[in-house]
Amino acid sequence: MLSHTLRDGLKAYAIGPKIRSIRLKKKMGLVELGQHTGLSPAMLSKIERGQLFPTLPTLLRIAMVFSVGLDYFIAADRDRPVLGISRHRDRLRLPETADAKNPAYEFESLDFPAVQRLLNSYFAEFFPVAAEKLHRHQHPGAEFIYVVSGTLVLHIGDEQHTLDGRDSIYFDSTVPHAYRRAGAKSCCAVVVTAG
């Protein structure tokens, strides 16, 4: 069962109405679409009405019938400006990695409702972890961190940088890096990635 956050996020893409629109434009009934896709008309009807969200293989079957790519159903409405509001109550808090037993940090996406965004922003809470147990990662582009509170230690390549509350740093995120909290005080930051 989907959470309200995931359900609302998927509804924003209006996949069901897009399927219905292209189906009607092609003058095709649910039974005919079902014959082409191998899906039941009842299931297709639920998808079109937003009562059921298709998996990617299911959506790809539908897309192939209409000779369109998946992006036809997933791309945002290009006539509207990019805008996304992230309510605190709707955000999911995730550990650094899904299988982390003692993560160095947990994060929440601050901009997940915005599609076609040029950057990604997160609120992160950091924990004390021994430097040798840190999980270094890297990704294309750049990263910006603004420390809201506490003391954050960043390991970037062979260098180590310590930032206190209200300090910030911008760096090349293709260089392997990791983060950890220093001291007993809670450490939180806003992290922005682009690239």
What's the CATH number where 66 sits?
1.10.260.40
Q: Are residues 64 and 106 in the same domain?
A: no
- pLDDT confidence of 116, banded at 50, 70, 90? low
Kindly state the DSSP code that residue 81 receives in the 8-state scheme. P
Q: What is the pLDDT of residue 111?
A: 87
Q: Are residues 129 and 53 in the same domain?
A: no
Highest-confidence range of 66-75, 91-100, 181-190, by mean pLDDT?
181-190
Q: Which domain holds residue 16?
A: 4-74
Q: Are residues 51 and 115 in the same domain?
A: no
Helical residues (DSSP H) of the chain, grouped into ranges:
4-11, 15-25, 30-37, 41-48, 56-65, 71-74
The 10s digit of each residue's pLDDT in 49-77 is 999 999 999 999 999 888 888 888 887 65
Q: Are residues 70 and 103 in the same domain?
A: no
Nearest-5° angle of CA 102, CA 97, CA 137? 105
The 10s digit of each residue's pLDDT in 147-178 is 999 999 999 999 999 999 999 999 999 999 99
Q: Are residues 70 and 100 in the same domain?
A: no
For residue 159, the SS3 value is strand
60 belongs to a structural domain = yes
User: CA end-to-end span of the chain, whole Å?
Assistant: 33
Q: What is the pTM (predicted TM-score) of this model?
A: 0.66
What's the CATH number where 123 sits?
2.60.120.10
153 belongs to a structural domain = yes
Q: Are residues 51 and 130 in the same domain?
A: no
Q: Are residues 125 and 69 in the same domain?
A: no
Q: Are residues 65 and 125 in the same domain?
A: no
**pLDDT(81) > 80:** no
86 belongs to a structural domain = no
- % residues pLDDT > 90 (the chain): 63
- % residues pLDDT > 70 (the chain): 95
Cα 129 to Cα 132: distance, rounded to the nearest angstrom: 8
Q: How many domains does the chain have?
A: 2
